Amino acid sequence: MSPIEHEEPVAQSPTESTGRKLVVPGLYWGVKRSFVAYIWRMPDGQAAVGRGARPLRNGDFFFEPRPSHAGSQVRFRGELRFAGHMGMLSVHMADPWIDLTGDRGELSIGSARDGGWPRIALASLTFDDPIEDGGLVLLRASRVHLSAPAVPLFNGVYPEGESLEPLTVVLPAAEIG
């Protein structure tokens, strides 16, 4: 895992003005901006990325796509870790998967809760109309809400249904189920 220096991001998001409508395939997501800002304000706040995740200039995080998909499930790889309060706050998210059903979806993650690596449903998603360009498809979930199983991940601070940041999935058109 590499610590994040949030002043020096390393990539860009598909929504930044670049002269291109779409960029590299993957998952682009800002988690919850107020949570990430809270981490940065703590004297001992830390964030780290690894195994296929990278920070972006706009504050989002990028997760690499996994080469195989299972039907309407798209998988990504990468880890995010947030910590602070002398270790009392620790949030770990790994390898996000999205199960697609029409214009809806469920985002799940691997999490180091309770000493194991169970997958938990992190958020429910509502997608806007897909955008196709140059053999790529952009799926934007403008409504992302915290799922009940993920409330303990944030120590109960955010209730079920809490709005999280929108996310964007960019994949080759042939890989969208």
* pLDDT tens sequence across 153-165: 999 999 999 999 9
Q: For residue 1, which of 86, 93, 119 has the smallest C-alpha distance?
A: 93
Q: Would you say residue 68 has pLDDT above 70?
A: no
User: What does pTM read for this prediction?
Assistant: 0.85
* pLDDT tens sequence across 121-154: 999 999 999 999 888 899 999 999 999 999 999 9
The CA-CA-CA angle for residues 72, 74, 118, to 5°, reads 110
Residue 22's pLDDT band (cuts 50, 70, 90): very low
CB count in 10 Å sphere of residue 66: 16
What percentage of the chain reaches a pLDDT higher than 70?
A: 80
Q: How far apart are CA 151 and CA 163, in angstroms?
A: 12
- pLDDT, the chain, mean: 85
